[in-house]
Amino acid sequence: MLMEVGLPVDRLTQSAAPRPGVGIVHLGLGAFYRAFGAVYVAEAMAASGGDWGIVGVSLKNPATRDAPTPQNWAYTSVTLAENDESTKVIDVLENVLVAPENPAAVLEAMADPGVRIVSLTVTEKGYCHNPATGVLTVDHPDIAHDLQQEMPRSAPGFLVRALARRRAAGVPPFTVLSCDNLPENGALVRQIVLDFAHLIDPSLAQWLGENGQFPATMVDRITPATTSPDIARVTAVTGLYDSAPVLHEPFRQWVIEDNFVRDMRPDFNAVGVEMVKDVSRFEQMKLRMLNGSHSALAYLGYLAGHETISDTVADPAFAAYVRQLWAEIMPVVRAPQGFDLQVYAQALMERYANPKIRHRTWQIAMDGSQKLPQRLLGSLEANIAAGKPVPGLCLAVAAWMYYVGGIDQTGQPIDVKDPMAEKLRAISDASTTPADKVAALLSLSEIFPTELAENLKAPVTEAAEFLWAQGARQAALQVVA
């Protein structure tokens, strides 16, 4: 492995300092959590101590474990400011498990009495729910399996089966801490867990309802996927070979509802986490303004041939477009006390424009069928209810519809990564005109509520017809004309 970077360097390894006990199991260990939550936990232990070591769990991919295992799961966190770069070794992971290989080991780790928090970054699709309603999808293949089998496949299955073991052993439940970009993510995961538990044991659901805690959170740090050139560059900078570094922007924000089982958590206050009673305004601001505009730029930027978000906003057409988008979104956002949304929007533009952050449009475009309801449809519903035109938001929906058709503006295939990819492509292929495609895709009740779909039909069709005829850049320019 060392020869891959062409340098005779030592490998990064875990510190020789005494190890903390494990206090957290994290489901869905990927670059974002390692660049965000794990960093905060490491800093909180450095500030105030405590046994909060983390066992990470990959629900799908063994590479998540295999890459950092030779270095005992230590890794480099790289902060990419526009004019500066800094590195820090994060040494908080105590083990990494791969759920499909050994689900029993995952359940054992989660049932351990020393574990007080199980956190998640499993993306929208990992909750196995209907994005339009928030209801657990009981006919989802993984959920159907997990309702019948003790060894689960899904995140909800692991949560409930582990919590059942703790109840049987007389151990309090762990706090379930969702770190995914979902509205009211705490309430959502609570409902999914209780629904699942009720289906296997109503008394378990009652116990969880009375004793469990599911704090809401808002998370924010742009974290591009790590590439082979990134690994080589980090090795050159640090002089140590690290097979699993994470690269991220300087900005970070974590807002958590301060509601943990027995108040047991790391000292997050000491490291800048905002512990609050109500996360909803922070969450709405971020989901609508950041995530909504990110998705819109991803679809339009990809269709226009831009590789990254920074490339996209460097194009004056899309810089003007995203400002128009924020002008549509801001009136339907309830800002947290003390936040100026205009200042927030300008800070977002500066973050998007950072050329060091190679956040690829294809990465953000993934799983759009799951993301649209949270990121764009809420803003559309609120504006439509107020009788306000929203050409920028309608173009974003039309761009998603173009993208999931699987062919870009030059006629080249798009590798659409989405749990509904085959269904979306089939619907698009079966429709001849842009208007037909819009009508067919709006009929998907698992994405679009019926009343909203009817209200969107005319404006999204208008946006789609221009997009298909003139292309993404001209469509963006038309919105701001």
pLDDT at 133: 87
What's the mean pLDDT when you consider all of the chain? 95
In 10 A of CB 307, how many CB atoms?
A: 14
Phi and psi for 473 in degrees, rounded to 5?
-65, -45
For the stretch 443-480, pLDDT in tens is 999 999 999 999 999 999 999 999 999 999 999 999 99
**Alpha-carbon radius of gyration of the chain:** 22
Instruction: Provide the sign of the torsion angle of the four alpha carbons 291, 293, 296, 299, taken in this order.
Output: negative
Which of 64, 198, 183 is CA-nearest to residue 127?
183
pLDDT at 14: 84
**Number of Cβ atoms within 10 Å of the Cβ of 295:** 24
Q: What is the mean pLDDT of residues 18-22?
A: 93
Distance CA 377, CA 447 (A): 9
The whole-number average pLDDT for the span 353-371 is 96
* Helix ranges (DSSP H) in 257-306: 280-285, 292-303
Residue type, 261: V
pLDDT category, 16, cuts 50, 70, 90? confident
Query: Is pLDDT above 80 for 306?
Result: yes
Section 325-349 average pLDDT: 97
Q: Which residues pair with 254 in a beta bridge?
A: 219
pLDDT, residue 312, reads 98
* Residues 6 or more apart whose Cβ sits within 8 Å of residue 146: 152, 153, 154, 156, 157, 160, 161, 196
Q: Cα torsion at 389, 391, 396, 397 (round to 10°)?
A: 60
What phi, psi does 244 have (nearest 5°)?
Answer: -145, 50
- Residues near 98 by beta carbon (within 8 Å), at least 6 away in sequence: 57, 58, 61, 62, 64, 65
- 158 and 102 in contact (C-beta within 8 Å)? no
175-219 tens-digit pLDDT: 999 999 999 999 999 999 999 999 999 999 999 999 999 999 999
- Indicate the pLDDT class of residue 1, thresholds 50, 70 and 90: very low
The rounded percent of the chain whose pLDDT value lies above 70 is 98
Other beta carbons within 10 Å of 162: 23
Element at 310 (helix H, strand E)? helix 309-314
Average confidence (pLDDT) over 413-424:
97
Q: Which of 382, 208, 215 is nearest to 287 (CA)?
A: 382
Summarised one tens digit per residue, pLDDT across range 128-185 is 999 888 899 999 999 999 999 999 999 999 999 999 999 999 999 999 999 999 999 9
What does the pLDDT look like over 85-115, one tens digit per residue? 999 999 999 999 999 999 999 999 999 999 9
